């Protein structure tokens, strides 16, 4: 059970934040207008270089706890059990009073503005400490935690998203059918990058070129080398565009696309320019690849709905849902998040739309026993500022994902960026921010909208206990300064032997 925590002092008594002038980067908020809310998650480039105050001594258990903090070994976590057998018995969770003392005035930093937060024991889900932990706040991209948990609970671990080609209604006609895989790529395998890194066999996306090769082989085997191509996007319903669509942070949400609708599929930009019609682009790409395989495509591909039970000629499949969730969380991929949310909707027999996905996610979270008081979801990515989630719900999600009795949820934890090491945390928790001691031991999902900075994840404290935390701010402060202030709080939790 999650208990109510103690409320901290009024934020009006907040302390000043260190001067961030030297840490601002030219691309802070570059895709935001004065009244726009865009999920930036630019943390890997500009989030961790602000000059913060030094960590002070954390109160609690006295000199013994301080010695443990001084002696502990910091290392980057590797994939494996999140909570080893015996963790709950071998170490003690910190007390609420100990956390209050350890955090001190870090939670009063003026850069935080309004702060809602919660800390829980990841081994048991027990709430430990917080402030306004039950008050709903804008989650930004930490919404993806809810999407991920629901999808992994609803879908089997081996679930993959298929893109298929079927025979059309008339001889010589074929239809490319979108199954909802935005990671389908037209790039050669050696050019594919995820977060700037090459892919391995498990994470490699499905290949449009391979789909063309298989289709061409099937056509030639049947004696055909000329076709009329159509494409089917009927799997999804509802609006094509997110309410906050900007053709950069997210593509049009369609079940058929290639390279997430990027104009330049090799672009390293985290918010690249997107094509106006991703499905049309995918169909054109497929037609060109068929031509390279010796198949003549008559005319321009047209949109059509494949007949029920149409004969399948070829297919390619995405990585497993677990790998997709890891990619979505590590890189904070909005387009992929909306696709994963729709896979959850389909599994829950809801419409594959923004509304249907939100119903599927909240319904599954309720079935898992996650507290939903005050939760309002309107998308799966967190781009919508209308979304509301209390911090206590986020820590409960993380505790469920780390629980030994929910191994199917483990990709939620393994997909979280590692502080100072990967994804959207690669440039967070630096020494200059005053949070460097926590680098490598924090796994967390970032969230950034205009005026909103959130962070939710897990951290190992000085006694070796895994804790779940969620910090949600609404502030007018410079984003880099606000994020550094959030990081310092997490560093204090990590240093707590209390």
Active site residues: 141, 144, 332
Residue 11 near residue 114 (C-beta atoms within 8 A): yes
Contact 236, 342 (CB under 8 A): yes
- Alpha carbons 236 and 257: distance in angstroms, whole number: 13
The kind and range of the H/E element at 145 are helix 143-154
Give me 294's structure tokens: 């010796």
Listed residue (215, 243, 245, 213) closest to 227, CA to CA: 215
* DSSP reduced 3-state for 119: strand
First to last CA, the chain: 21
For the four alpha carbons of 172, 173, 177 and 182, in that order, the dihedral sign comes to positive
Distances (CA, A) of 443 to 284, 405, 413, 429: 40, 20, 7, 11
CB-CB contact of 283 with 128 (8 Å): no
Residue-wise DSSP of 147-189: HHHHHHHHS-TT---EEEEEE-SSTTEEEEE--S-TT-B-S-G
The H or E element that residue 314 is part of is: strand 312-317
3-state secondary structure of 267: coil
Cβ–Cβ < 8 Å for 315, 162: yes
Give the span between the Cα atoms of 236 and 493, in whole angstroms.
43
With H, G, I as helix, E, B as strand and everything else as coil, classify residue 487. Answer: helix
Comparing CA positions, the residue from 124, 115, 108 lying closest to residue 1 is: 124
Q: Is 11 exposed, middle or buried (0-12, 13-18, 19+ CB in 10 A)?
A: middle
Q: What are phi and psi of 164, to 5 degrees?
A: -125, 165
């Amino acid at each position: 059970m999650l208990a109510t925590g103690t409320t901290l002092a009024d934020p009006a008594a907040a302390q000043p934040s260190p001067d961030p002038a030297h840490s601002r980067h030219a691309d802070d908020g570059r895709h935001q207008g004065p009244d726009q809310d865009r999920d930036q998650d630019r943390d890997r480039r500009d989030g961790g270089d602000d000059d913060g105050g030094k960590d002070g001594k954390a109160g609690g258990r006295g000199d013994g706890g301080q010695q443990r903090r001084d002696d502990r070994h910091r290392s980057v976590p590797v994939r494996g059990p999140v909570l080893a057998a015996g963790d709950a018995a071998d170490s003690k969770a910190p007390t609420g009073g100990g956390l209050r003392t350890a955090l001190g005035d870090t939670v009063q930093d003026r850069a935080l503005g309004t702060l809602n937060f919660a800390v829980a024991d990841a081994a048991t889900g027990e709430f430990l400490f917080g402030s306004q932990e039950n008050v709903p706040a804008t989650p930004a991209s930490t919404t993806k935690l809810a999407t991920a948990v629901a999808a992994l609970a609803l879908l089997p671990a081996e679930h993959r998203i298929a893109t298929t080609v079927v025979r059309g209604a008339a001889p010589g006609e074929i239809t490319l059918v979108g199954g909802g895989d935005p990671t389908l790529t037209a790039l050669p395998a050696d050019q594919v990058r995820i977060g700037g890194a090459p892919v391995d066999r498990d994470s490699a996306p499905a290949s449009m070129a391979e789909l063309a090769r298989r289709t061409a082989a099937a056509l030639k085997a049947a004696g055909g080398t000329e076709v009329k191509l159509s494409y089917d996007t009927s799997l999804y319903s509802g609006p094509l565009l997110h309410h906050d669509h900007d053709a950069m942070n997210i593509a049009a949400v369609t079940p058929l696309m290639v390279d997430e609708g990027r104009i330049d599929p090799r672009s390293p930009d985290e918010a690249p320019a997107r094509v106006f019609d991703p499905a049309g682009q995918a169909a054109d790409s497929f037609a060109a690849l068929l031509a390279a395989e010796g198949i003549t495509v008559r005319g321009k591909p047209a949109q059509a709905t494949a007949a029920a039970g149409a004969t399948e000629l070829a297919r390619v499949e995405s990585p497993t849902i677990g790998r997709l969730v890891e990619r979505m969380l590590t890189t904070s991929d909005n387009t992929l998040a909306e696709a994963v949310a729709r896979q959850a909707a389909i599994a829950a027999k809801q419409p594959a739309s923004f509304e249907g996905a939100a119903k599927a996610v909240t319904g599954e979270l309720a079935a898992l026993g996650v507290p939903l008081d005050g939760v309002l979801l309107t998308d799966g990515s967190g781009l919508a500022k209308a979304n509301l989630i209390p911090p206590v719900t986020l820590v409960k999600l993380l505790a469920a994902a780390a629980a030994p009795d929910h191994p199917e949820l483990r990709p939620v934890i393994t997909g979280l960026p590692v502080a100072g090491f990967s994804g959207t945390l690669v440039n967070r928790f630096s020494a200059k921010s005053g949070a460097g001691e926590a680098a490598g031991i924090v796994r967390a999902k970032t969230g950034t909208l205009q005026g909103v900075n959130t962070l939710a994840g897990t951290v190992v404290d000085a006694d070796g206990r895994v804790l779940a935390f969620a910090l949600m701010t609404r502030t007018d402060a410079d984003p880099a300064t606000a994020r550094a202030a959030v990081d310092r709080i997490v560093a204090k939790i990590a240093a707590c032997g209390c």
